Amino acid sequence: MATIMAVFAHPDDETFICGGTMAKHGHEGHRVVLVCATKGEMGRRMGVPPIATREDIPTIREQELNNACKVLQIKELRFLGYRDKLLEIQPSETLTQAVFEQMIEIKPDAVVTFHETLGGHPDHCAIGLATTQAFQMYQKCGVSPSKANLFYVSGSNAAKNPRQYGLLPQQMTKVHVKEYLYYKLLAFRAHKTQSEMDDWVWMRDGKSLKKFSEYEYFINAHPPYHGEMESLDQY
């Protein structure tokens, strides 16, 4: 069994972006560790009707994330303690060192994070860059497993047209998650403050599940690429 370390910026990133993959590997018995940089305390969504205030939203979102982790079988949850929407102004060396220290403790075989420019949200890009730099340090420190890999989460558009995003087709990998979509849906519902305004999440299960793709997509960060597709399914 492998250790998979996911490094994201906010509670719900692990679910909304790659919840099926997290559930697949967690339920298959792999050790999945989530490192979350913030508690999403500056998020604008408070539930519909509101169930949180600006003062208690960090506590509520932390509990929501704990509930989602249980559903997805994420074995460990760790917070870096940074403030939401301020990751991009953190000194790069400081953020990188914080992630690197987690890697030294966790000793992952695979790391999943955001791409430093394709992540969209500034916090996503900042934690993605820090994780990339930390992974490079991890590979050189003698603790890293010899075949440790770094993956970036990806949308389907980049997966279908990688060259438009400056990527190589052989970098793209997809994970079949159809059997684990119910757990992903339950994790969506666990993040109630963030998902309650999305009517489709709260429909009957069958209708809600139709909103999900049976695949989730990733970018393999570093060569060599083995064959047409180097997949997380190897773990």
Give this prediction's pTM: 0.93
Burial of 49 (0-12, 13-18, 19+ CB in 10 A): exposed
Going by C-alpha positions, the residue among 112, 86, 124, 90 that lies closest to residue 33 is: 112
Q: Give residue for tokens 């992952």.
A: 108
Cα–Cα distance measured from residue 144 to residue 54, given in angstroms and rounded to the nearest whole number: 40
What local confidence, expressed as pLDDT, does residue 142 receive? 77
Tokens for 166? Answer: 């400056």
Digitized pLDDT (tens) for each residue of the chain, 235 residues in all: 899 999 999 999 999 999 999 999 999 999 999 999 999 877 667 656 666 667 788 899 999 999 999 999 999 999 999 998 889 999 999 999 999 999 999 999 999 999 999 888 999 999 999 999 999 999 988 777 778 899 999 998 998 999 999 999 999 999 999 999 999 999 999 999 999 889 999 999 999 999 999 999 999 998 766 544 446 777 7
Torsion 90-91-92-93 (CA) sign: negative
Sheet containing 3-8: order of strands: 76-79, 31-36, 3-8, 110-113, 149-154, 215-220, 172-176
What local confidence, expressed as pLDDT, does residue 64 receive? 96
What local confidence, expressed as pLDDT, does residue 145 receive? 72
Cα–Cα distance measured from residue 107 to residue 188, given in angstroms and rounded to the nearest whole number: 28
Tokens for 83? Answer: 């403030």
What local confidence, expressed as pLDDT, does residue 231 receive? 62
φ/ψ of residue 44, rounded to 5:
-85, -20
What local confidence, expressed as pLDDT, does residue 159 receive? 87
What local confidence, expressed as pLDDT, does residue 232 receive? 74
What local confidence, expressed as pLDDT, does residue 228 receive? 43
Cα–Cα distance measured from residue 216 to residue 143, given in angstroms and rounded to the nearest whole number: 29
Cα–Cα distance measured from residue 22 to residue 72, given in angstroms and rounded to the nearest whole number: 6
